[in-house]
Chains A and B, each alone.
Chain A
């Protein structure tokens, strides 16, 4: 199902949560709403779900206006950050809940419900926990149950609010891959909120970067990472080196800032055209990559990420003089920078 968000704004008292948001989501896409806390991403998700109402604007599902529809009639599945499992029900009953509350004429028979819930529990490999209660499960297990509980009613849209936010790093990584697989299998249009750029880049088909109640950029992970539309997106999606006033064709009076990703810094031991002399002041090996801390001749600090084989090849060590070349530089005007830079 496609989702169309038209001119949606929302204020909480004086606090502006969403400012004139327009967004369209294609059927079957897995979209990430990415942004720092307070950027409005969760509010947008809750408005799509019908858990919150927009002050202005509307939402269309498959071209039909559902702005005034109740949560129940929207046919969405919602996954909460803290699972929101019913703690007085066991796992089976939690998953069956949505099937059991359907009006009598739409409701499946007890046997069909049983069959369907068991199938879903198989899907998340938790069928042996059917009789367990939520407090007996780990965080990862709870979130998987919350997910299949939402899927049980066969929603047309799956909405996930920071689904992995409450889990520890390792479980989070596992569940990410699992969510991607699940999405590929079910093909249900999905939208998830996250503040973790790695999560968004890894899982989503499309990323919508939000900041201060507005959409900064939308596009595929490659697009937003390689071609950030604003300094905010650039710095929010990965590590950067900043240089002031380095624009090659710098106009008089316009101050610029140049961004370079650490892995776009090349290190040479000999002078080349367009390289800048620097000294290595620190080396840190993290698995296959090496983080090299450097200082340019004018004292400006730079970080470079290179492979460890490259480091050995060059024979880098602390104190060594070398030469740096910057690839894929991105220049932004300074006032633009101050206007938008905020994490």
Chain B
């Protein structure tokens, strides 16, 4: 019973083998590879790392990645709220279809989304042509990057908000109106403060997803350094040029950002979980 020491009091069998296998698997697939990445990034010394990770081209790419992701997450938060509200509060014809369509970007391969969006938004495309007459370049531009990132982030706000809106107890809205609150006051003073953590966590999730996105953006972005080159693309470009250390350095920066998002979403998720406990 020696190997059972890690686990505390449980009468159930097979902790050792399941935990052992799972842990070994994760080490093999996640921990060792990521450790290799970290090791590679500082292979050329600290200064090389800083130089590669924060070169002008890399900085420009971070800026594009983060700002475009932010805009996309923002747009998704706004429209996601509308969709979530409609799904949570109303019964209407086609509700199931709308509900399924929201999840489409989860299921659709990003490469497919990429070619579809590029075709739509290119200068002779269905949406690109009218945009061009308005002076906006749809595909192969910053605008295109934002469009692709909006696409991949559609489900997040909706999926975090729908349960939050559904779980709003009817009585608190009733209580507010018996206390004399008007409709807009109920909305801003009672409903929004109750669901804003869910809203925020949807925003963070779609932001995090957008920052790492590659497949759909690479088609639509144009990929010009300093203009339409996102951070994941530099990683690939450097890798193809066998500049492993530079590539790894940028990847480490992105990985660090991912970890921050992971902690943040975990924290928000915990707050969300607690919020439901006390009514």
Indicate with 1 or 0, residue by residue over B88-121, a CB within 8 angstroms of chain A CB atoms.
Answer: 0000000000000000000000000000000000
Stretch at the interface among B26-34, B145-153, B167-175, B209-217: B167-175
A51→B178 contact, CB < 8 A: yes
Which of A78, A80, A101, A135 is B189 in contact with, Cβ under 8 Å?
A: A101
B177→A72 contact, CB < 8 A: yes
Once bound together, how far apart are the Cα atoms of A194 and B82, in whole Å?
40
Which of A71, A88, A89, A102 is B178 in contact with, Cβ under 8 Å?
A: A71
Contacts of B174 in A (CB 8 A): 51, 71, 78, 80, 84
Which of B169, B179, B278 is A101 in contact with, Cβ under 8 Å?
A: B179
Does B193 interact with chain A (Cβ within 8 Å)?
yes
Contacts of A87 in B (CB 8 A): 194, 275, 278-279
Once bound together, how far apart are the Cα atoms of A102 and B185, in whole Å?
10
Once bound together, how far apart are the Cα atoms of A34 and B277, in whole Å?
31
Chain A: interface size category: 20 to 34
A72→B181 contact, CB < 8 A: yes
With A72-B177, A78-B178, A101-B179 as contacts: A84 and B171 at CB distance below 8 Å: yes
Does A178 interact with chain B (Cβ within 8 Å)?
no
Indicate with 1 or 0, residue by residue over A67-80, a CB within 8 angstroms of chain B CB atoms.
Answer: 00011100011101
Indicate with 1 or 0, residue by residue over A29-63, a CB within 8 angstroms of chain B CB atoms.
Answer: 00000000000000000000101000000000000
Indicate with 1 or 0, residue by residue over B128-163, a CB within 8 angstroms of chain A CB atoms.
Answer: 000000000000000000000000000000000000
With A86-B190, A101-B185 as contacts: A149 and B179 at CB distance below 8 Å: yes
Once bound together, how far apart are the Cα atoms of A153 and B180, in whole Å?
8
B175→A101 contact, CB < 8 A: no
Does B270 interact with chain A (Cβ within 8 Å)?
no
Once bound together, how far apart are the Cα atoms of A102 and B277, in whole Å?
31
Once bound together, how far apart are the Cα atoms of A97 and B193, in whole Å?
14
Indicate with 1 or 0, residue by residue over B187-211, a CB within 8 angstroms of chain A CB atoms.
Answer: 0011001100000000000000000
A80→B176 contact, CB < 8 A: no
Once bound together, how far apart are the Cα atoms of A152 and B169, in whole Å?
22
For the complex formed, measure the closest distance between the CB of B247 and the CB atoms of chain A, giving whole angstroms: 46
Q: How many A-B residue pairs have CB under 8 A?
A: 72
Which of B179, B190, B193 has the largest number of chain A CB atoms within 10 A? B179
B194→A88 contact, CB < 8 A: yes
A150→B194 contact, CB < 8 A: no
Residue of A nearest to B276 (CB): A87
Contacts of A71 in B (CB 8 A): 174, 177-178
Does A263 interact with chain B (Cβ within 8 Å)?
no
Contacts of A88 in B (CB 8 A): 193-194
With A72-B182, A84-B171 as contacts: A97 and B279 at CB distance below 8 Å: no
Which of A49, A70, A78 has the largest number of chain B CB atoms within 10 A? A78
B194→A97 contact, CB < 8 A: no
With A51-B174, A80-B174, A87-B278 as contacts: A98 and B179 at CB distance below 8 Å: yes
For the complex formed, measure the closest distance between the CB of A81 and the CB atoms of chain B, giving whole angstroms: 8
With A84-B171, A86-B172 as contacts: A76 and B185 at CB distance below 8 Å: no
Which of B169, B182, B194, B278 has the largest number of chain A CB atoms within 10 A? B278
Indicate with 1 or 0, residue by residue over B240-279, a CB within 8 angstroms of chain A CB atoms.
Answer: 0000000000000000000000000000000000010111
Which of B172, B178, B279 is A77 in contact with, Cβ under 8 Å?
A: B178
A153→B179 contact, CB < 8 A: yes
B179→A83 contact, CB < 8 A: no
Once bound together, how far apart are the Cα atoms of A135 and B276, in whole Å?
10
Residue of A nearest to B197 (CB): A88
A101→B171 contact, CB < 8 A: no
Does A82 interact with chain B (Cβ within 8 Å)?
yes
Once bound together, how far apart are the Cα atoms of A85 and B174, in whole Å?
11
Indicate with 1 or 0, residue by residue over B17-59, a CB within 8 angstroms of chain A CB atoms.
Answer: 0000000000000000000000000000000000000000000
Does A221 interact with chain B (Cβ within 8 Å)?
no
* Interface CB pairs A-B, < 8 A, 28: A51-B178, A70-B177, A71-B174, A71-B178, A72-B177, A72-B178, A72-B181, A72-B182, A78-B174, A78-B175, A80-B175, A82-B169, A82-B171, A82-B279, A86-B175, A86-B190, A86-B194, A97-B176, A97-B179, A98-B181, A101-B179, A101-B180, A101-B181, A101-B189, A102-B180, A134-B278, A149-B179, A153-B179
Given contacts A84-B174, A86-B194, A97-B176, 14 further A-B contacts (CB under 8 A): A72-B181, A77-B178, A77-B179, A80-B171, A82-B171, A82-B279, A84-B171, A85-B175, A86-B176, A89-B193, A97-B181, A98-B179, A98-B181, A135-B278
4 smallest CB-CB distances across A and B, nearest first, come from A135-B278, A98-B179, A84-B171, A78-B178
